[in-house]
Structure 1
Amino acid sequence: MNTATTLSDFLRNRRARLHPQDVALPDFGGTRRVTGLRREEIAELAGVSVDYYTRMEQGRVSNPSDAVLNALAHALRLNDDETRHLHHLARPQRTARSAREHRIRRQSVRPMLRRLLEELKDVPAVVMGRRMDILAWNPAACALFGDYAAMDSAKRNIARITFLDPASRELYADWSSCARENVAYLHLEAGRNHSSDPQLAHLIGELSMKSEDFRRLWAEHPVQDKTSGIKRFHHPLVGDLELTYETLRAADDPDQALITYAAQPGTSSHDSLRMLLAWTASQLIA
């Protein structure tokens, strides 16, 4: 992955999303020759010269200050995730060392996350590592998503399963939304680790070659952390489920996260999930 190219793509994409009325600039009508705002308009909003912003968009500014990056983020109306992404892309040398250290360190599940996973009997949960790799899971997660143990370890990856396993399109009732969320998170990963993680580059390359949906979404450059939300499933055994997911990260090791999926008590989803887990447990005993 070329960080300068990625930065250029990101800035152009976000500039194209905006219109004069979005940022209180006068719109004199007529046909605009560019989609979205012009470079001159972004430069004016950010308080930098047109030449500086042009070089920034071309990836030719090596060490922009926090003040400049924050001004650009404000001008482009970036949210918090997008602003952090901009900082990572614009100053990759500041994160390259830690990314290299993470890359060479084998992904071993933290003991505390392992214990939490074992305690969660009735809540599907997985431990997600770098690149959205699935590092560990509980029986409830297998009941919901399928038997991870039966999969090749190289294929235990949330993004790879979402885009390359046809069954995922049947399982996720809102597959398009899930797919976009996964791409948005991978963009964050790419911004943090960029070229120092060849496995991430390989994953993105593989998905780009094998999935037209991934290529399209990747080009749109969505950016969003994986924190919490609602997932809707259409499970082959119990039908429709609406589950709330939460992502728990240790402050000293954000590369690993425990993701839990729970149903609201008193709902049909709660009853269906309990039925699914009971049936799965009976099969294990049998």
Structure 2
Amino acid sequence: MSEPYLTRLEQGVDRHPSPQVLRALARALELDAGASAHLSALAAPDPVRPSETEVAPDVHQLLDAWVDSPAYVRNRRFDVLAANKRARALAPMYESGHNLALDMFLAPEVRRLLPDWPEIAAQTAAALRAEADPRDPRTARLVAELEADDGFRALWARHDAQPSRDELKRFAHPVAGELVLRRQALTVGGAEQQVIIVYQAAPGSPSEAALARLL
């Protein structure tokens, strides 16, 4: 890449570099996979997307069918769109209408619920950067609201970009006690802006018994 072309990119004159140029930039900057994907999203043309907020009836039915597992649907801006009863009993932030990032940083009860809050908060900020569309005005308003929190502001300034991943998560529930649950993320077919999150306890474990006490 020539120096004049790099200057045009830096000045925003060329807003949509080719995939080859993006790969070259990612290599030059030594970006990891998450940051490289975020770079590609920033450079992509504004997409035409279906509704991010309407959850299909069959997805609602699927959530309700998971009677033993907390499950909810969120969009890539971390708005909760739907949740089953066990998810709502596990944490208030899984109620429809909540935003997971806002609750993570601005709701004191979430910090008490998650023993590993510092690590999960950092993952949340990195996942929001990786998954949310930075050109969306609603995302910009969300980030502006979150930046009222010093912790979020420091994490956001790191520019980490890593999509959510499957992992074990610990909860310290005020009624059910301690739970260790496997978190899995599933993309909704036909609604790529929506993600189903399901929590499962290991069969026969104390966490499975604790889950049963939620309802």
C-alpha separation between the residues in 2 aligned to 1:136 and 1:240? 25
* Counterpart mapping for 1:34-49 below 5 A: 48-49=1-2
Contact residue 34 and residue 161 of structure 2 kept, 8 A: yes
C-alpha separation between the residues in 1 aligned to 2:39 and 2:93? 38
Offset at residue 106 of structure 1 (A): 6.4
Q: 1:207 to 1:67 in 2, by over 3 A?
A: same
Q: Does 1:233 align with 2:171?
A: yes
Q: 1:131-176: per-residue Cα shift (whole Å, max 9, x none)?
A: 1111111111122103866x8x3xx111111111100000011111
Q: Which residue of 1 aligns with 2:88?
A: 142
Q: Does 1:186 align with 2:128?
A: yes
TM-score (norm 1): 0.68
Q: Does 1:204 align with 2:143?
A: yes
Query: Identity of aligned pairs, percent?
Result: 39
1:249 pairs, out of 172, 187, 195, with 187
Q: Secondary structure at the match of 1:131?
A: coil
Q: Which residue of 2 aligns with 1:125?
A: 71
The answer to which structure, 1 or 2, has the higher relative contact order (CA under 8 A, 6+ apart) is 2
Q: Does 1:176 align with 2:118?
A: yes
Q: Which residue of 1 aligns with 2:211?
A: 273
User: Is there any run of 5+ residues in structure 2 with no aligned partner, and where?
Assistant: none
Normalized per residue, the structure richer in helix is: 1
C-alpha separation between the residues in 1 aligned to 2:52 and 2:28? 40
User: Is there any run of 5+ residues in structure 1 with no aligned partner, and where?
Assistant: 1-47, 281-286
Offset at residue 51 of structure 1 (A): 5.4
Count of aligned positions: 215
Root-mean-square deviation over aligned CA pairs: 2.2
Q: 1:52 to 1:181 in 2, by over 3 A?
A: same
Q: Secondary structure at the match of 1:132?
A: coil
TM-score (norm 2): 0.89
2:155 pairs, out of 177, 198, 217, with 217
Max Rg structure = 1
Q: Secondary structure at the match of 1:194?
A: coil
